[in-house]
């Protein structure tokens, strides 16, 4: 395996598993920091702000800075503000999405008469919220969703993800949203722009084939699959487009880099 000049790194299943540490994760980041290799954490989680992500990483013994975090909320806000500066938005989602949208100068409204309907993971979702979102899309608002993850791993098991909530509005209106998060190129291109390197010099590290590995494949970036999360080595071997590399864990990646 070649030594890449920078890494894009998934969080859940790669850096930690819910509230559990993953052996090799902190060591890998320590290796990158020691060798001054740039890296960004790329997450579909739209509920958390970069500072909150950093707190979680530090709880896992992983050194991180807010400017090393790229969330689907940040990529969504940037996407909308570039296309329609100052646009009005009706959103479902948490504080991470709300703050990202307002910090980009977008106007949040509580009715359906808006330029955009944006759906992020909302753990306090109600029928009324979904009704306003549906009416907004039917009125002609552009429909955006932070990511298409249909389920998310929690301590209780796999719970409905943002893609599941989004699907209610999609089914009701017949309108497909623009998805921002992995495996879509929008969030990956934002992260690559921040790094400012040729994409041949960057690798995407993650555990889940359908989001993490496909996100790298979709933007022509080499991929490093780790078998510490959802997708197993056996499942990887069945894929028609395999990752560039697959390893048991990040300790094995460090050993490869030290060769």
Which pLDDT score, from 0 to 100, does residue 247 have?
Answer: 96
Dihedral over Cα of 154, 16, 40, 149: its sign: negative
Is 111 annotated in a binding site? The answer is no
Q: What is the pLDDT of residues 65-81, one digit of tens each?
A: 999 999 999 999 999 99
d(CA 164, CA 168): 7
Looking at residues 124-150, what average pLDDT do you find?
97
Which pLDDT score, from 0 to 100, does residue 154 have?
Answer: 72
Angle (CA) 89-94-100 rounded to 5° is 55
pLDDT-based confidence at residue 55 (cuts at 50, 70, 90): very high
Looking at residues 29-35, what average pLDDT do you find?
97
Position 153 pLDDT exceeds 80: no
**Which sequence spans correspond to the domains of the chain?**
6-44+182-257, 83-179
Q: Residue 237, Cβ neighbours under 10 Å: how many?
A: 9
Q: Which of 33, 63, 26, 66 is nearest to 49 (CA)?
A: 66
Which pLDDT score, from 0 to 100, does residue 145 have?
Answer: 98
Is omega for the bond preceding 4 within 30 degrees of 0, making it cis? Answer: no
Which pLDDT score, from 0 to 100, does residue 76 have?
Answer: 98
d(CA 227, CA 209): 10
pLDDT-based confidence at residue 92 (cuts at 50, 70, 90): very high
Which pLDDT score, from 0 to 100, does residue 141 have?
Answer: 98
Cβ–Cβ under 8 Å, residues 130 and 163: no
Q: Cα–Cα distances in Å, from 159 out to 37, 126, 129? A: 35, 16, 19
Position 43 pLDDT exceeds 90: yes
Dihedral over Cα of 185, 96, 37, 19: its sign: negative
Let me know if 30 is exposed, middle or buried by CB neighbors in 10 A (0-12, 13-18, 19+): middle
Position 238 pLDDT exceeds 80: yes
Looking at residues 35-43, what average pLDDT do you find?
97
Please state which of the ranges 93-102, 151-160, 172-181 shows the lowest mean pLDDT.
Answer: 151-160
Is 23 annotated in a binding site? The answer is no
pLDDT-based confidence at residue 159 (cuts at 50, 70, 90): confident
Percent pLDDT > 90 in the chain is: 90
Position 157 pLDDT exceeds 90: no
Dihedral over Cα of 252, 192, 67, 148: its sign: negative
Position 34 pLDDT exceeds 80: yes
CATH code for residues 6-44+182-257: 3.40.50.1000
**Residues labelled catalytic:** 10, 12
Is 83-179 in the same CATH topology as 6-44+182-257?
yes
Q: Residue 19, Cβ neighbours under 10 Å: how many?
A: 10
Q: Which residues does 128 contact at the CB level (< 8 Å), separation at least 6? A: none
Is 207 annotated in a binding site? The answer is yes
Mean per-residue pLDDT over the chain, rounded: 95
> Which DSSP category does 66 fall into?
G
Q: Which residues does 238 contact at the CB level (< 8 Å), separation at least 6? A: none
Is 122 annotated in a binding site? The answer is no
Position 134 pLDDT exceeds 90: yes
Which pLDDT score, from 0 to 100, does residue 203 have?
Answer: 98
Cβ–Cβ under 8 Å, residues 47 and 93: yes
CATH code for residues 83-179: 3.40.50.1000
d(CA 207, CA 228): 6
Q: What is the pLDDT of residues 163-221, one digit of tens each?
A: 999 999 999 999 999 999 999 999 999 999 999 999 999 999 999 999 999 999 999 99
Position 259 pLDDT exceeds 90: no
Looking at residues 43-65, what average pLDDT do you find?
94
């Amino acid at each position: 395996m070649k030594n890449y000049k920078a890494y894009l790194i998934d969080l859940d299943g790669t850096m930690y598993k819910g509230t559990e540490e993953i052996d090799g994760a902190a060591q890998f980041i320590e290796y990158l920091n020691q060798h001054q290799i740039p890296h960004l954490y790329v997450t579909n989680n739209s509920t958390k702000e970069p500072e909150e992500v950093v707190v979680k990483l530090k709880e896992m013994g992983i050194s991180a800075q807010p400017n090393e975090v790229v969330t689907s909320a940040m990529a969504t806000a940037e996407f909308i503000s570039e296309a329609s500066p100052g646009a009005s938005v009706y959103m479902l989602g948490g504080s991470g999405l709300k703050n990202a949208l307002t910090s980009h100068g977008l106007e949040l409204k509580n009715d359906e008469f808006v330029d955009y309907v944006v759906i992020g993971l909302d753990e306090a979702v109600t029928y009324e919220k979904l009704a306003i979102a549906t009416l907004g899309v039917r009125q002609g608002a552009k429909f955006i969703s932070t990511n298409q993850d249909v389920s998310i791993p929690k301590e209780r098991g796999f719970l409905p993800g943002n893609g599941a909530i989004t699907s209610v509005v999609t089914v009701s209106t017949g309108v497909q949203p623009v998805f921002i998060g992995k495996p879509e190129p929008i969030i990956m291109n934002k992260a690559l722009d921040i790094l400012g390197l040729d994409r041949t010099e960057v690798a995407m590290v993650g555990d889940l084939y359908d989001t993490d590995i496909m996100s790298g494949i979709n933007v022509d970036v080499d991929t490093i699959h780790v078998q510490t999360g959802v997708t197993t080595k056996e499942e990887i071997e069945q894929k028609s487009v395999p990752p560039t590399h697959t390893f048991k864990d990040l300790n094995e990646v460090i050993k490869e880099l030290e060769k």
